[in-house]
């Protein structure tokens, strides 16, 4: 790939995280910790930040709804402009895109993007109250469809179409657990074997407890600047964001999408060329002018082990139906052809919704700088992230050095 700057590039000046876990503290504390870590990583003073974008959390009261201002106040009012973004699991990417747009428009030079969450124990559930026009409420009320029930549908689909096995799903967990051993921000840092996964409790057939990510507390922050500002001040080690994809689906959707209860009919309009998840990565590649063959590593949203296999194909890192073969050959392990989730992924972190897409960017940044101690992908030059938020929110970020 070319190392030249495209006109949509912004620089990643600094990144920081609060370790994932179940700490029982206010989400603001986690966000402030991650923000200060990102500022220290960049060597930039808080007073120099002219924009702060917060990722909204919907389970932490009014302060979570206005997260941008909440974090600005906690860090100490400095007169910066403020914005708040929400896109479910894609919140972090949308917040990044807001900051990038302001920088590219010349309305900001130094932008801090923060996401943090404090989560309840157990499955994520809808907010209280009856909402008969809300699909996310209806799926619980009418069918009892928790998130793992959807994950199981996707897993069963993969088994039926491509011959995936429960042992394949278990191998994803084994790989990611090994990757996360050396990650100081990971919540779970323990090796597991295939038998450990297969003998853990069934949550939603064919998925076991160890196939499904937990819910966690945590935070991540990314400090963005214009490329010119970073070069002028020697920031970021040359890491740039080349693309941020926040695309929506194209009608009709022929693969069921959480929290919906059905797919779209194709009798009047033909199915689109790409599925929604395929279109997320494709838009990022097109915007960056980068080919999937150029990618050194990927951080994908492994809400379940089976979903990681889907993402590998959705991002065109192999042909459809070949992800299991890559996994079995060790190609998706650190040291393999295309390492996937060298951070350990959600298997080792759990899900902290507004922070997750930012945490992926933090990991790719450390990998591109050569700072991912104990889990480094040697020679990494290009990284891609991917996840998806409820109600049609795409999320993919491409970074390079």
Report pLDDT digits (tens) over 152-202: 999 999 999 999 999 999 999 999 999 999 999 999 999 999 999 999 999
Classify 72 as helix, strand or coil. Answer: helix
Confidence of residue 13 (pLDDT cuts 50, 70, 90): very high
Sheet holding 393-400, edge to edge: 81-85, 51-55, 110-117, 217-225, 10-21, 240-245, 393-400, 382-389, 297-300
- The pLDDT tens digits for 106-158 are 999 999 999 999 998 888 877 788 999 999 999 999 988 999 999 999 999 99
Stretch (H or E) spanning 30:
helix 27-42
- Whole-prediction pTM value? 0.96
How far is Cα of residue 95 from the mean position of the Cα atoms in its chain?
A: 12
Q: Please tell me the predicted confidence (pLDDT) of residue 4.
A: 41
Confidence of residue 331 (pLDDT cuts 50, 70, 90): very high
- As given in the structure block, the two tokens for residue 77 are 């009012």
State the angle between helix axes of 353-369 and 91-104 in degrees (0 to 180), rounded to the nearest 10.
60
Confidence of residue 216 (pLDDT cuts 50, 70, 90): very high
| pLDDT surpasses 90 at 252 | yes
Q: Please tell me the predicted confidence (pLDDT) of residue 153.
A: 96
Q: Please tell me the predicted confidence (pLDDT) of residue 129.
A: 86
Contact 91, 357 (CB under 8 A): yes
Q: Is 184 exposed, middle or buried (0-12, 13-18, 19+ CB in 10 A)?
A: exposed
- Of 8-12, 241-245, 257-261, 352-356, the poorest mean pLDDT is in 257-261
In this structure, the strands spanning 393-400 and 240-245 are antiparallel
- As given in the structure block, the two tokens for residue 84 are 């708040």
- The pLDDT tens digits for 273-322 are 999 999 999 999 999 999 999 999 999 999 999 999 999 999 999 999 99
Q: Between vectors from CA 386 to CA 227 and to CA 372, what angle results, nearest 5°?
A: 65
Residue labelled with tokens 């907010």: 127
In DSSP terms, which residues pair with 114 in a beta bridge? Answer: 54, 221
Quote the CA–CA distance of 100 and 104 in Å, as a whole number: 6
Closest to 313 (Cα-Cα) out of 284, 351, 282:
282
Q: Please tell me the predicted confidence (pLDDT) of residue 21.
A: 97
In DSSP terms, which residues pair with 51 in a beta bridge? Answer: 81, 111
In our burial notation (b when 16+ CB lie closer than 10 A, e otherwise), range 286-305 reads ebbebebebbbbbbbbbbbb
Contact 10, 227 (CB under 8 A): yes
Q: Please tell me the predicted confidence (pLDDT) of residue 2.
A: 40
Q: Please tell me the predicted confidence (pLDDT) of residue 3.
A: 44
What's the whole-number average pLDDT of the chain?
A: 96
């Amino acid at each position: 790939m070319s190392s030249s700057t495209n006109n949509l590039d912004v620089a990643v000046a600094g990144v920081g995280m609060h370790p994932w876990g179940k700490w029982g503290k206010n989400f603001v504390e986690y966000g402030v910790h991650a923000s200060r870590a990102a500022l220290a990583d960049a060597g930039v003073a808080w007073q120099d930040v002219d924009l702060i974008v917060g990722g909204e959390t919907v389970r932490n009261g009014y302060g979570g709804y206005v997260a941008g201002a909440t974090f600005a106040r906690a860090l100490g009012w400095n007169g910066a402009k403020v914005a708040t973004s929400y896109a479910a699991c894609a919140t972090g990417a949308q917040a990044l895109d807001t900051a990038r747009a302001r920088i590219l428009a010349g309305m900001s030079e130094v932008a801090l993007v923060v996401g943090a969450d404090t989560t309840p124990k157990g499955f994520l559930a809808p907010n209280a109250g009856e909402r008969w026009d809300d699909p996310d409420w209806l799926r619980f009320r009418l069918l009892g469809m928790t998130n793992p029930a959807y994950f199981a549908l996707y897993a069963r689909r993969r088994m039926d179409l491509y011959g995936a096995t429960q042992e394949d799903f278990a191998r994803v967990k084994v790989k990611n657990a090994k990757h996360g051993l050396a990650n100081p921000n990971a919540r779970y840092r323990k090796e597991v074997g295939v038998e450990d996964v297969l003998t853990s409790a069934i949550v939603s057939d064919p998925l076991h407890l160890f196939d499904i990510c937990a819910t966690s507390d945590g935070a991540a922050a990314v400090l963005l600047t214009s490329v010119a500002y970073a070069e002028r001040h020697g920031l970021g080690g040359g890491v740039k964001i080349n693309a941020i994809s926040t695309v929506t689906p194209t009608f009709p959707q022929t693969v069921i999408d959480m929290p919906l209860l059905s797919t779209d009919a194709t009798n009047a309009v033909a199915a689109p060329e790409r599925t929604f998840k395929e279109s997320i990565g494709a838009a990022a590649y097109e915007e960056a002018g980068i080919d999937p063959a150029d990618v050194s590593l990927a951080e994908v949203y492994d809400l379940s082990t089976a979903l990681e296999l889907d993402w590998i194909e959705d991002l065109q890192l192999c042909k459809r139906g070949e992800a299991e073969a890559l996994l079995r050959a060790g190609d998706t392990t650190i040291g393999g052809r295309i390492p996937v989730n060298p951070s350990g992924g959600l298997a080792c972190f759990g899900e902290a919704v507004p922070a997750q897409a930012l945490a992926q960017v933090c990991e790719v940044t450390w990998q591109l700088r050569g700072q991912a101690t104990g889990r480094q992908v040697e020679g990494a030059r290009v990284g891609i992230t991917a996840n998806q938020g409820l109600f049609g929110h795409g999320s993919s970020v491409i970074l390079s050095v």
